[in-house]
Amino acid sequence: MTTPPSERTPTYAEDLRPEDVRALETFLNVQLGRVYEEVGETGETSFAMRSLLILVCDSAGLLYTLLAVERPQAWQRAAIVREWQRLRSTAHEFNHCEGYDHDRWWNQVRHFDASDEAAEQDRIRRFADVGSYSES
């Protein structure tokens, strides 16, 4: 079983570290590599596996780059959340595989930070207030 890079659990995307991305990317590469060995190097499944491996590497590479930005803009903040969720949801499918650390799950991150979460909650409340109208 793999061990987590640290005992902390990221709550927001701003809490993510390159070590978190590296651990998740490594886990995915190991699991996808096992599947790739099973399907062989020919056929449509092989091409799909190769594409998935490339997407995992690209997504992780983008995350490494974005995490290095000192003051990310709104689109960069959203991209960090999106790419982490993309990797995390891909890893979720391998929950049953040998080598999976059942004591540590790749934490779901829905917001960049607490202020993003609060802003989203405000938008939801405003929408609910505007959406609740009575018909005459």
- Reading the chain (136 residues) residue by residue, the pLDDT tens digits are 444 444 567 788 888 899 989 988 998 898 888 888 887 777 788 888 888 899 999 999 999 999 999 999 989 999 999 999 999 888 877 766 665 555 555 677 888 888 888 888 888 888 888 765 545 4
| pTM of this structure | 0.74
Furthest-apart CA atoms within the chain: distance in Å: 66
Q: Of the candidates 72, 84, 83, 28, which has an alpha carbon nearest to the alpha carbon of residue 52?
A: 28
Sequence length of the chain is: 136
Q: Which two tokens stand for residue 98?
A: 């040998």
